[in-house]
Structure 1
């Protein structure tokens, strides 16, 4: 497998860094690596503070620029294809396969939807993201005007979003209006993850039962807010976590047994439809990505 080109991660430090040493800050806030890992990177000259190589004992203050110049690495395998379903001068709509991250992060740089789309359309800018394990529609803007207009529509909740999901259990109702707040909760491996939380932000989903199966159910879910992992959390909150979800258990909290990570795979979730006004023409568009076979009703196969 070929190496990628490496990447420089940059952060302008805020108040949480004030008074900490650089090594303490890196260890405390970037839990994917241990203190000894960060010390080794500092000694190799990979970490800079305000453009100068750093050693670790420096006392930090807000406003400084921290950089980690990560050397080239081999990325985990991922499906490297996408389907183009809409193209005009302002917009692209593509279908992302499950397993391909939308944006760089978590060890992925070139093996991302963004990298694949920009290889064909260098000007493309993603307007939202899907979780790595989620398949389906992702919109890209091709102009600044289109991006600004659609970003405003997203903020104003003028974009209608429908998903399909396969969940555990047999629902007692035909539909569920779910308003469980979502916010950070403790996680043993990451420090915190988003989950059901009374102290979290308001979230709204409407879930419809499409088909009951043996010990599972196929749902259609309309989301009216865009909180992280909202559908996974909300269906789990009503007692129907996604089949194979390694992170969320019934109730909408992280699993107590071998808690997974947000990017772990195994669940079935698909962004099926986006409906919105074209940002330049005002035309109403309803774009649809056919669901994978596991997420189709019996009468759709």
Structure 2
């Protein structure tokens, strides 16, 4: 039945909710509105006409780090989604850039080349010309020439010293998640069912150690989904306040990747054309009483 198929594929809503949506006329089957649950086959086309919803408030202001008329790099605030998803459509960086460009009468709209997590702040690269976006996208791939460093507040990382970087090369893997079906996470090494795995590499350097945790600089070249959060969780030292990735490679079944609470900042960026950029983390980056001291260090 259609309700069972939708509940299986889109686990954010149980079968009875999908059945209610079908009966209210929200779902179309092969272009025809439905009033009751029906059987479906592999060749059927299903559409969901989702009613309008109120999107959560977001920070909608940012500073421009670089703009040459084609490439635009901003300091994205924590809490701003880059692309639609997770209940956000208009309250996203991509939508705000389009709206601002139209208001200014610009002929080309800056569009994101990559995607920082909603609660990751820092350097977000956009480009106006399709050719530029394609070239920059190539550089952001694992085999590309883009180099990025992040600042992260993590639980104390065992074995990490200021004078000795730590390289992490464990895979990020897709694990079962009750709300999403599958989610990227650390390798549990316990026989848990996995769907995919991707090679990833992170290099960690300790900047500051205190009672609350470690301030770590992380250099990445692979850019896998949630890579830094996952690699620190793999080490048993997840980001401070991370609601999803827990110690001992566990995943919180009640949380999703878009939930906030962690502190992660895209700090520096180097592109193949020699462009090197950096931006300072905002005032809310450091936890608690560390705020002033950490801001001075950064």
TM-score (norm 2): 0.84
1:44-98 Cα distance to aligned partner (Å, 9 max, x none)? 2222233332453142224x54321211111122222222222223211112111
Match for residue 264 of structure 1? 259
1:108 shift after superposition: 1.1
1:246 shift after superposition: 0.7
Give runs of ≥4 in structure 1 deviating > 6 Å: none
Match of residue 166, structure 1, among 143, 153, 161 = 153
Match for residue 71 of structure 2? 91
Query: RMSD of aligned C-alpha atoms?
Result: 2.1
| Long gaps (5+) in structure 1 | 1-20, 278-282
1:28 shift after superposition: 0.5
TM-score (norm 1): 0.83
| Long gaps (5+) in structure 2 | 103-108, 287-292
Matched, 1:143 2:129: yes
Query: How do residues 115-154 of structure 1 correspond to structure 2 at under 5 angstroms?
Result: 115-121=95-101, 123-154=109-140
Check the 8 A contact 1:95/1:136 in 2, yes or no: yes
1:219 shift after superposition: 0.3
Q: Indicate how the Cα distance of structure 1 residues 298 and 59 shifts in structure 2: closer, same or farther if over 3 A, else same.
A: closer
In 2, Cα distance between the equivalents of 1:227 and 1:170?
21
1:15-43 Cα distance to aligned partner (Å, 9 max, x none)? xxxxxx42222110111112122122222
Match for residue 54 of structure 2? 74
Check the 8 A contact 1:165/1:268 in 2, yes or no: yes
Match of residue 243, structure 1, among 240, 243, 246 = 240
1:223 shift after superposition: 1.1
